[in-house]
Amino acid sequence: MDQIRHLIASLLLLLATTVASAQSVSGLSNMQRVLGYTLTDSITTSGAFFGTADTYPVGAMLASGSLEDYAGCKIVGIRFAVSQSIGRTRAFLYKVEGNGINEVYSQNQRTYEGWNNVFFNGDGIEIAGDESLLFGFDYVETEEMAAAEQGALCGFGEEDVANAFMAYGNFGSGEGFYSLSGIGCLCVQLIIDVSNLPAYNMGVSYLDTGFKYKQPGETIEALAMYVNTGREDVTAYQYGYQLDDRDPVVFDVSDLLVTGKSATQEFNVTLPSDISIGMHRLATFVNTVQGEAVTGKNTRMEQTFAVYRDKVERSKVYLEIYGDQASPYQPFFDEALSIAKKSAPYVSVAKVFNTKSVLGIDEAAYLCDLYAYTYPTFTINRAYFPGEAAIAYDMNDYLPVLPADMTASFISDMAYQDYANPAFATLDLTATYDAASRQLRVSANGRLLPEAEAIYGDLALTLLVTEDSVKSRQSVYNQATGRSSYNANYLHNDVLRRFLTHPMGEQLSATDNQYAAEFTTELPADWKPENMHVIALLTKAAAAITEDNAKDYDVINCNSLSVAEVMTQGIENIQLSNFNFQTSKFFTLDGKPVAPSQLRQGLYIERRADGQTRKIVVR
């Protein structure tokens, strides 16, 4: 169990009965609380199964930041529900560190139908507040359970939540913990001793300010969530908001908020007409609870946004796919994408394979690490859509189920929405290709609005090349048999082949708000230039891009061109009788020399004695 893999896999987790249960947590003292994706004894799915007899470690993962409000408290046990006894089994707690996991605690205990409380021996494990924890139990599925299609797994809720149901096994590209779907949130919880928490306290758990780009006078419709992090129920609290360093606005609330529960509040903020262009921030906070000042790290949260007055139209939208040749869902996505591209000519596409795939490149690994919590996923302009859990989009649950044209409509609709967003710099792209030397020279230039510097500071240009019809292996799913296998002759399109710049871009220098840059690369002999595209991206210049600042590095503007179109520019129609075969040499478009006697009708490169080259069509 040395790796965690986040792959949303639609497995044979069939749902059995729907049951009702009490809306309370049983078997805990008044100083104990549960923590996890479920917070009550409620069960909505009962009897789910894998369909193959085995022992499956299952659980949920709380990411870093989820435990901050409980720093100093102790984990004293684990709760989980099963619809029938699975005998004596292990409850476990792991700390997630990088791509690995380290066991913190495990304990064996006999199980019974319903909720099982496993209290740890000893004083418990203290919470630091900045760790990521994976917790759960060993689910044992017997031959009888698999044959009867009646398992023991229990879930809560109708929707799947990332990391709320994880299982260890080989559900994709190798063994590891995968995030699964099919039963909502797995019924598993941490038991926390909260005796050292203050009686009354609240924090901010969520703030949504809408899309990043806004204009003076626009009204922000903000949505925020405030959570009771104290030991006692709350009946009165005060929250507010603050725009930049302006005077805060405060609201009083007199509603019951049970400990551990959240309350949602909406408020509108109208931006002043004289607000400056550039980055601004809107913060929300909890001020008092039951008349007392709040304490802790999470009593305030802020979101940044950009204000603009002038804009330019986007040249194109950048669709970046994070692919995996070992995922049988990749072909479903590829089919939908091919349809979407026909209805969205303004989209430029690059498929970034993970480095474990044959087509993966090391320079792009940071992109998969930043965005790909599962495969395949994709981003549009690497931009965050308000309300989403992540920047990237995942459709794995729908790919095998929905018709390809329906999935394609989702992709094209999302792309068009970003196409309508403002840009603050133009991006023009030209290129030349010398078939004899296989050198591709790309030039980019454009104009910067004042907003570009005010919002982003320094800008960076990223150039990359992609190739279509690349033959390489791919896992494919056979719906008739329900199994996947490898197709060694699969044709991949939009494959990221190389960056012409640094992967995070080259910082631009502008004179009188104009910029220009040129880069050259030599294409390998086995790449087919007629199947290639050049894509140019403008972003904020980056020293490093992390999960904490990724929202600042959306694509400002994008453009692309076909190398095939570049190759056909300026072609001359030539008769064979016009050549001086003693002074010219001839090459195919992929750079292979051709003897004059072997010239046939078609497209060639002529290199003259003076070193000049030209494209010719032999008639």
- pLDDT of 10 above 70: no
Give the separation between CA 388 and CA 386, rounded to whole angstroms: 6
Q: Residue for token digits 């908020």?
A: 257
Confidence band for 607, pLDDT divided at 50, 70 and 90: confident
- 613, 587 contact by CB (below 8 A): no
- pLDDT of 23 above 90: no
Average pLDDT over residues 78-96: 96
Average pLDDT over residues 171-182: 74
> 126-135, 459-468, 595-604: which has the minimum mean pLDDT?
595-604
> 8-17, 95-104, 597-606, 608-617: which has the minimum mean pLDDT?
8-17
Instruction: Kindly report, residue by residue over 185-230, the tens digit of the pLDDT.
Output: 999 999 999 998 889 999 998 999 999 999 999 999 999 999 998 8
**Cβ neighbour number for residue 159 with a 10 Å cutoff:** 8
Confidence band for 395, pLDDT divided at 50, 70 and 90: confident
- 516, 430 contact by CB (below 8 A): no
Give the separation between CA 539 and CA 461, rounded to whole angstroms: 7
Residue type present at position 149: E
- 538, 458 contact by CB (below 8 A): no
| Cβ within 8 Å of residue 332, ≥6 positions away | 399, 400, 404, 407, 477
Give the separation between CA 500 and CA 185, rounded to whole angstroms: 44
Give the separation between CA 235 and CA 254, rounded to whole angstroms: 6
Give the separation between CA 376 and CA 369, rounded to whole angstroms: 13
- pLDDT of 261 above 90: no
Give the separation between CA 122 and CA 75, rounded to whole angstroms: 11
Q: What is the largest CA-CA distance in the chain?
A: 98
| Cβ within 8 Å of residue 573, ≥6 positions away | 616, 617, 619
- pLDDT of 245 above 70: yes
**Percentage, residues of the chain above pLDDT 70:** 92
- pLDDT of 4 above 50: no
Instruction: Kindly report, residue by residue over 142-164, the tens digit of the pLDDT.
Output: 999 999 999 999 999 877 787 89
Q: Residue by residue, what is the 3-state secondary structure of 239-264?
A: EEEEECCCCCEEEEECCCECCCCEEE
Average pLDDT over residues 74-96: 96
Task: Give the start-end residues of each E strand in 37-99.
Answer: 45-48, 54-62, 74-82, 88-97
- 49, 141 contact by CB (below 8 A): yes
Does the CA dihedral 5-81-54-144 come out positive or negative?
A: negative
Average pLDDT over residues 385-389: 84
Give the separation between CA 52 and CA 41, rounded to whole angstroms: 28
At 373 the pLDDT is 85
Measured at the CA of 465, the angle between CA 461 and CA 468, to 5 degrees, comes to 150
For residue 213, what are its two tokens? 């780009």
At 592 the pLDDT is 73
281, 284, 271, 280: which is closest to 224 by C-alpha? 284
Burial of 295 (0-12, 13-18, 19+ CB in 10 A): middle
At 25 the pLDDT is 77
**558-580 CB burial, b ≥16 within 10 A, e <16:** bbbbbbbebbeeeeeebeeeebe
At 313 the pLDDT is 93
- pLDDT of 583 above 60: yes
Average pLDDT of the chain? 88
**Percentage, residues of the chain above pLDDT 90:** 67
User: In 457-601, which residue ranges form alpha helices assigned H by DSSP?
Assistant: 563-567
At 296 the pLDDT is 74
Give the separation between CA 140 and CA 57, rounded to whole angstroms: 8
Instruction: Kindly report, residue by residue over 461-473, the tens digit of the pLDDT.
Output: 999 999 999 999 9
CA torsion angle for 575, 581, 585, 590 (degrees, to 10)? 40
At 416 the pLDDT is 92
**Cβ neighbour number for residue 550 with a 10 Å cutoff:** 17
- pLDDT of 398 above 50: yes
At 422 the pLDDT is 95
At 569 the pLDDT is 67
- pLDDT of 504 above 60: yes
Confidence band for 581, pLDDT divided at 50, 70 and 90: low
Give the separation between CA 554 and CA 538, rounded to whole angstroms: 9
- 85, 112 contact by CB (below 8 A): yes
Give the separation between CA 337 and CA 412, rounded to whole angstroms: 9
For residue 517, what are its two tokens? 């840059």
Q: Which helix (H) or strand (E) holds 303?
A: strand 300-307
At 531 the pLDDT is 94
